Amino acid sequence: MAKISMIVNGNPVSANVDPRTLLVQFLRENLRLTGTHVGCDTSQCGACVVHLDGKAVKSCTTLAVMADGHEVKTIEGLAPDGAPLHPMQEAFREHHGLQCGFCTPGMIMTAIDIVHRKGHDLSDHIIREELEGNLCRCTGYQNIVQSIAAGAKAMANSDLA
Partner 1 sequence: MYEFKYHRPATVRQAANLLVKNEDAKLIAGGHTLVPVMKQRLASPPHLVDLSHVEGLDAIEIKGRSLVIGATATHNAVATSAVVGEAIPALAELAGQIGDPAVRHKGTIGGSLANNDPTADYPAAVLALGATVVTNKRRLKAEEFFQGMFSTALESDEIITKVMFPLPKKAAYVKFRNQASRYALVGVFVAKRPSDVRLAVTGAGSDGVFRVTVFEEALKKRFSHKVLDGLTVSAEGLNSDLHGSAEYRAHLIAVLARRAVEAANAKA
Q: Between 105 and 134, how does the x/- string for binding to partner 1 read (CB under 8 A)?
A: -----x--xx--x------------x-xxx
Is residue 41 within 8 A of residue 60, CB to CB? The reply is: yes
Radius of gyration of the chain (CA): 15
Q: Which of 24, 148, 12, 28 is nearest to 86 (CA)?
A: 148
> Closer CB to partner 1, residue 29 or residue 132?
132
Residue 30, C-beta contacts closer than 8 angstroms, at least 6 positions apart: 15, 17, 21
Phi-psi region of 42 (alpha: psi -120 to 50; beta: other; left: phi over 0): alpha
Is residue 37 involved in binding partner 1 (CB under 8 A)?
A: no
Furthest-apart CA atoms within the chain: distance in Å:
47
- Taking the least distance from each CB to partner 1, the nearer of 62 and 147 is 62
For residue 106, the minimal CB distance to partner 1 (Å) is 9
Residue whose CB is less far from partner 1, 20 or 96: 20
Which of 42, 82, 83, 159 is close enough to bind partner 1 by CB under 8 A?
A: 42
Torsion-angle region of 27 (φ positive above 0: left; ψ -120 to 50: alpha; else: beta): alpha
43 part of the interface to partner 1, by CB under 8 A: yes
Give the C-alpha separation, 129 to 114, whole Å.
Answer: 10
78 is an interface residue for partner 1 by CB under 8 A:
no
Q: How many chain residues are in contact with partner 1, going by CB under 8 A?
A: 28
- Binding to partner 1 by CB under 8 A, coded x per residue (else -) over 1-30, reads -x---------------xxx-x--------
What three-state secondary structure class fits 87? helix
**Site residues, partner 1 (CB under 8 A):** 2, 18-20, 22, 41-43, 46, 49, 52, 55-58, 61-63, 65-66, 110, 113-114, 117, 130, 132-134
